[in-house]
Amino acid sequence: MAAFKTQIEDLIGSVGDDTALTSWLNDGGKELINIMPSHLLALCASQSTFTSTIAGSEAETLNTAKILNVFRNDGDIDQPCRQIDATIKGRVADPYEMQYATVTDPVYYIENNKINALPDGGSCKYSEVQYPVFDTSGATSTSVDIDDTGDTTVPSFPDEAEYLLVLYAAIKGLQRKMADKTSDLPSDVSFPVISVAPSAPSFDAGSISVSSSAPTYTKPVFSVPTLATVGSLTMPVPPSVPSISSQSVTITGTAPSYLGPSFTTINTYIDTNEDIELGQAKLQEINSQIQDGLNKFNDDNVEYQAKLQKDIQDAQLSDAHEARKLQKYQAEVSQYQAESSSNLQEWINEEWNQKFQKYQQDYGSKLQQYNTDLQNELNKFNKEQTVFQNELQEKIQEATNQQTKDSAEYSAKIQKYANQTQAYSSEVNTKVQDFNTKLQKHTKDYEWLMGQHKQLMDDYNRGVQILTGGGQPQRG
């Protein structure tokens, strides 16, 4: 029988990567063992021995998690060990626990990739499923050299499943080839590279360069003269308004009162007693009393009139004093008005008129100078503008002449470019046709690989179903 590498390449052709072939064969062995039924796993196992230790000092390291059986020797025979969870290893080591392990009823557990049995101190055996190992040099006695015709079988592996290893690796090899064709075209199917692509002609649109700068009109600055400080106007102090009191006549005397006689007795004589004579006598007495009262009244009245005339004269004298105060105030107001008019006229003549007239003269002089400067700047600008326009027209004419020349040269370049473009198009069409021909071949090769991949997948899935007794789903 041929070597494994030869068997794979007979199905899919050369892969050119022995490292990848080795990896695919190792991966296939692991996948097949992981789906094998228990009766086939026994063909993939090998026996190992160790001495059991106390719980917590485990020393035997596992290679895989597939342990078929574990035995501990009781001194006479190998007793089968039952598996327990590592969390109760302390209990099974305690003789007072119901789960205590004995030499005739030993246990084993797996913790941190290590295996141990209890009771400790016993000689133990266990069957461990080993995955096949492929390499390219036959480094160990148990490994399989994929390129060695002497290594045509796999140790500790069912013979009926060996061909599935070849199919698995062949499928992976086809997937590699399909990926290569998808990501990169082969070297003989490269996109055409055009070596004689014409260069687009350049056209100088030309530019106008004027050595002198466009003139700038600078407006002269007009300095407004400053009006001299005008002194303040000093006015006289206005006179104080006098306090005028209204006068009234104060009568110091008491007006006299006429006290007439009493007619009560006469009324009694006449009305009551009807004594006319006594009434007349009493009436004469009363007349005398009336004359005396009148005389006294006249005397008091003369005194009262004298006092009244004196009070009236005093009041008239007081009014004359208030009138003199008012006349004095009127005189002071007239003097204040005269002084104010004089001060105002003096201020207008000496302060305002003189300084404002000087301000007007200065303003007119500076305005005349500003107009002169304005005209000078305008003349200067017009002169520079004339020089600039002359040079600008000259440069424009030069640029026009150069553009006419460049346009003729550009037309010639365009024609040359059109000829080169036509040749370029012909070359591109030729290379594109060649590319399409090679691409069609590349596509057919890829389609063939897809067909082969499907065929190998079908063969592999049928083999897996046979190997597992039809209990596993097909691989896609």
Q: What residue segments make up the domains of the chain, in order of their start? A: 4-184, 264-425
Residue 84 pLDDT more than 80?
yes
Rounded mean pLDDT of 282-310? 79
- Among the listed residues 44, 1, 3, 5, the one whose alpha carbon sits nearest the alpha carbon of residue 22: 5
Mean pLDDT of the chain: 83
> Residue 351: pLDDT band by 50, 70, 90 thresholds?
confident
Residue 258 pLDDT more than 90?
no
pLDDT at residue 247, as a whole number: 65
Rounded mean pLDDT of 356-384? 83
pLDDT at residue 200, as a whole number: 64
Q: How far apart are CA 444 and CA 469, in angstroms?
A: 37
> Residue 193: pLDDT band by 50, 70, 90 thresholds?
low
pLDDT at residue 19, as a whole number: 93
pLDDT at residue 396, as a whole number: 83
pLDDT at residue 445, as a whole number: 82
Residue 389 pLDDT more than 80?
yes
pLDDT at residue 276, as a whole number: 67
Residue 16 pLDDT more than 80?
yes
Rounded mean pLDDT of 54-61? 94
Which range of 45-49, 153-157, 226-230, 360-364 scores highest in mean pLDDT? It is 45-49
Q: How far apart are CA 359 and CA 371, in angstroms?
A: 18
- Among the listed residues 124, 95, 94, 128, the one whose alpha carbon sits nearest the alpha carbon of residue 108: 124
pLDDT at residue 77, as a whole number: 96
The most distant pair of C-alpha atoms in the chain lies apart, rounded to whole Å, by: 209
pLDDT tens for residues 168-184?
999 999 999 998 887 76
Rounded mean pLDDT of 116-142? 89
pLDDT at residue 260, as a whole number: 63
pLDDT at residue 381, as a whole number: 84
Higher per-residue confidence, 117 vs 372: 117
Higher per-residue confidence, 432 vs 203: 432
Higher per-residue confidence, 54 vs 347: 54
Reading the block at residue 10, the tokens are 């007979």
Residue 473 pLDDT more than 50?
no
pLDDT at residue 474, as a whole number: 46
Reading the block at residue 94, the tokens are 């305690």
Q: What is the residue type of 143?
A: S
pLDDT at residue 415, as a whole number: 82
Residue 406, phi then psi, degrees to nearest 5: -65, -35
Q: Which residues contact 344 (CB under 8 A, 6 or more apart)?
A: 233, 235
pLDDT at residue 104, as a whole number: 96
Query: What share of the chain in percent tops pLDDT 70?
Result: 87
Choose the weakest-confidence range: 257-266, 329-338, 382-391: 257-266
pLDDT tens for residues 407-425?
787 788 888 888 877 887 7
Q: What is the 3-state secondary structure (H, E, C) of 79-99?
A: EECEECCHHHHHHHCCCCCCC
Higher per-residue confidence, 471 vs 36: 36
Q: What is the residue type of 417?
A: Y
Rounded mean pLDDT of 263-271? 67
The answer to whether the beta carbons of residues 236 and 340 sit under 8 Å apart is yes
> Residue 387: pLDDT band by 50, 70, 90 thresholds?
confident
> Residue 73: pLDDT band by 50, 70, 90 thresholds?
very high
